[in-house]
Amino acid sequence: MAHLIRHKLTNKLTNAAHTVSNKSQAKVSGMFARLGFQAATDEEGLGFAECDDLDYDYRQGMQMDVLQGGEEGGHMEGEGDLDGDSHYQRDGTGPRPSSLKTGGSVDEDKPKITSWEAGWNVTNAIQGMFVLGLPYAILHGGYLGLFLIIFAAVVCCYTGKILIACLYEENEDGIKVRVRDSYVDIANACCAPRFPRIGGHVVNVAQIIELVMTCILYVVVSGNLMYNSFPGFPVSQKAWSVVATAALLPCAFLKNLKAVSKFSFLCTLAHFVINILVIAYCLSRAREWAWEKVKFYIDVKKFPISIGIIVFSYTSQIFLPSLEGNMQRPSEFHCMMEWTHIAACVLKGLFALVAYLTWADATKEVITDNLPATIRAVVNLFLVAKALLSYPLPFFAAVEVLEKSLFQDGGRALFPDCYGPGGQLKSWGLGLRVALVVFTLLMAVFVPHFALLMGLTGSLTGAGLCFLLPSLFHLKLQWRNLLWHHVFFDVAIFVIGGICAVSGFIHSIEGLIEAFKYNIHD
C-alpha cells in the first residue's frame, strides 16, 4: 500500500512539473513572438528532429547525401546544390527531405569547387571592372573616399560571414547543420510564420536587379572602352556594345559553376595585368602628382554617388550561399573571405589614389579614358576581355535565380520546368536565356552612363543586399547566440547602410536626369 501511494504521488508531481514547464515555455515563446524573434515552432522542431536522426544515421555509417562534408569541415554541413538543403526552412514551406534518394540526380553530379576557385569567383566579383570608377569616387570624396574603400571591405567581409551563418542552425547535439540553401531561404525563414513567402520575393527581386544591372554595366563599359580605343573608326559606342553582346551569346549555354570559375581565373589574371599597366604609367608621372588636390572635404552633391560606386564594387553577397554550398570544404569559407577582401582593399585603395594623383580634377568616370591613345588601346583591349570574361558569373547567377523562382519552384512555379527529364535545357528555355542577353544590350544602349548606373545600383540594391538585409537577418535568426558586440555591429551597419542607400539613390537619380536633360555623354 505504501509503495502504491508513493508511486501515485510521484506521477502527480511529475505531471505537475511538466505542466508548469510547458506553460513557462509557452509564455517565453509568446514573448519572443511578440518581439519578432520566434521560438521554434512544432514544424521547426520536427525538422531538427529529422536532422538529428540523419546525423545519427550518418555517424553510424549510412551515407546520407544531405549531411556530407562533416568530417572535413569539423561539423555537419549539407551540400548547397542538393534539393534537400532547403527543406529545413523555418516557414515549413520547403520541399520534404530528399536525402533518401536511390538514384543519382543532375544536382548530385554537379562538380564541387575548391576554396581557391571560390576565391577567384569572389575576387572576380569584388575586384572586377568596377575598380575603374574608384578614382572618380576619390575625385568627389578625397581622403574620406579612401577611408570608405577600407570600411566597405571590412563591412562586406563581415556581412558575408554572417549571411552564411544564417544558413546554419545547431541541432540538439550542438552540431551546426546547413538547414537553408540560399539567400531566399534565409529571407523566408526570417519572415515566417506571418509572411512566409514575402521575404523571398523581396530578395529575389533585389538579386535579379543587382545581377542584371551588373551584366548591363559590363556591356556599357565594353562599348565605352572600344569606342575610346579606336576613335578614328566610324563605329559608335552603341555599335561596339552590339559587337560585345554577340560575343556573350554563348553564355546562354552555361550549365554549372565549375565552367564559370575558369572564366573567373582568366579574368583575375587580366585584372592584374591591367592594374600593373595603369599603375606603371602613373608611377612614371610621380613627379607631377597633385597631392594638394586630395582634399578632406567632400562634394555634398556628388559624394553620395561615390558611396554607391564604392559599395557596388564590393558586392558579392548574392553569390556567397551558392559558392559556399558548392565548396568542397565549406569550413574554409571564412579564410577565403578574409584574404580576398584584404587583397581587394589594398589593391583598390592604391589604384584609386595613384590614378587620382596622376590626373587630379581631370579624372574621368572610366579612368582608362585618361590614358594616352597608344597605351589606352592596349589597356582597353585587356579591359574588354576582362569585361567579357566577367559577364558569365552574374549572368549565370541571374539565370539560376529566375529558373528557381519561376520554373523550378515545385508546385508553386508559375511556368513549366525549363529542363527535360534527363536534365537537358529545353529549346524555349535556351531562348529565354538568349533574350536575357539581348535585354542587357538594349539597356546598355539606351542608358550608357557607367558611373551613374554603378552608383544607382550600389545605392538601390547593393546597400540592401550587402548591409541592410544580412545584418537584419542575422539579428532575427541568430538572436539567441549573439554577444553584445555582434548586436552593436549589426545595428550600426543597418543604420549606416540605410542612410547611405537613401542619399546615394536620390543623388544618382538626379545625376541621370541631368545627364539626359543636357545630353551628357560619358
In the prediction, which pLDDT does 52 show? 40
Task: Give the best-scoring range by mean pLDDT among 208-212, 265-269, 325-329.
Answer: 325-329
Residue whose grid cell is 552593436: 488
User: Which of the two residues, 271 and 467, has the higher pLDDT score?
Assistant: 467
pTM: 0.67
Interacting residues of 116 by C-beta distance below 8 A, sequence separation 6+: none
User: Pairing mode, if any, of strands 176-178 and 168-170?
Assistant: antiparallel
Q: What letter does residue 176 receive in the DSSP assignment?
A: E
Counting residues of the chain whose pLDDT is more than 90, the rounded percentage is 15
Counting residues of the chain whose pLDDT is more than 70, the rounded percentage is 73
* CATH topology for the 121-518 domain: Amino acid/polyamine transporter I (1.20.1740)
The answer to whether residues 420 and 426 touch, using CB atoms and an 8 Å cutoff, is: yes
Q: What's the N-to-C CA distance of the chain in angstroms? A: 97
Count Cα neighbours of 411 within 13 Å in the Cβ-side half-sphere. Answer: 4
Among the listed ranges 120-124, 219-223, 489-493, 494-498, which one has the minimum average pLDDT value? Answer: 120-124
CB neighbours of residue 4 within 10 Å: 8
C-alpha cell at 217: 554595366
Q: To 5 degrees, how large is the angle CA 298–CA 303–CA 309?
A: 140
In the prediction, which pLDDT does 475 show? 94
Name the nearest CA neighbour of 168 among 362, 377, 392, 333: 333
In the prediction, which pLDDT does 103 show? 37
User: Which of the two residues, 221 and 343, has the higher pLDDT score?
Assistant: 343
In the prediction, which pLDDT does 283 show? 92
Asked whether the predicted pLDDT for residue 224 surpasses 50, the reply is yes
Among the listed ranges 45-54, 131-140, 242-251, 461-470, which one has the minimum average pLDDT value? Answer: 45-54
In the prediction, which pLDDT does 414 show? 67
Distance of CA 352 to the CA centre of its chain: 23
* 505-516 average pLDDT score: 76
The answer to whether residues 136 and 451 touch, using CB atoms and an 8 Å cutoff, is: yes
In the prediction, which pLDDT does 384 show? 87
In the prediction, which pLDDT does 334 show? 94
Q: Any idea where the domains of the chain sit in the sequence?
A: 121-518
Asked whether the predicted pLDDT for residue 40 surpasses 90, the reply is no
φ/ψ of 177, rounded to 5, equals: -120, 135
Average pLDDT of the chain is 75
In a 3-state reduction of DSSP, which class is residue 178?
A: strand
In the prediction, which pLDDT does 86 show? 35
Asked whether the predicted pLDDT for residue 162 surpasses 90, the reply is yes
Asked whether the predicted pLDDT for residue 257 surpasses 80, the reply is no
Interacting residues of 456 by C-beta distance below 8 A, sequence separation 6+: 308, 504, 505, 508, 509, 512
SS3 readout for 472-513: HHHHHHCHHHCCHHHHHHHHHHHHHHHHHHHHHHHHHHHHHH
In the prediction, which pLDDT does 477 show? 92
In a 3-state reduction of DSSP, which class is residue 327?
A: strand
Cα–Cα distances (Å) from 156 to 21, 471, 472, in that order, read 42, 11, 14
φ/ψ of 199, rounded to 5, equals: -60, -45
User: Which of the two residues, 314 and 94, has the higher pLDDT score?
Assistant: 314
In the prediction, which pLDDT does 137 show? 83
pLDDT tens-digit series, residues 342-384: 999 998 998 899 999 999 888 887 788 888 888 888 888 888 8
- pLDDT band, residue 179 (cuts 50/70/90): very high
In the prediction, which pLDDT does 412 show? 63
* 82-86 average pLDDT score: 36
> What is the rounded CA–CA span in Å between residue 454 and residue 452?
5
Name the nearest CA neighbour of 135 among 452, 386, 358: 358
The answer to whether residues 390 and 124 touch, using CB atoms and an 8 Å cutoff, is: yes
Among the listed ranges 22-31, 68-77, 277-286, 407-416, which one has the minimum average pLDDT value? Answer: 68-77
pLDDT tens-digit series, residues 306-340: 787 788 788 888 879 888 988 999 999 999 999 99
> What is the rounded CA–CA span in Å between residue 266 and residue 386?
8
Residue whose grid cell is 547535439: 173
User: Which of the two residues, 120 and 48, has the higher pLDDT score?
Assistant: 120
**What DSSP string describes 68-113?**
TTHHHHSS----TTSGGGGTT-TTS-SPPP-TT--S--TTTTSPPB
Asked whether the predicted pLDDT for residue 89 surpasses 70, the reply is no
- pLDDT band, residue 85 (cuts 50/70/90): very low
169 DSSP β-pair partners: 177
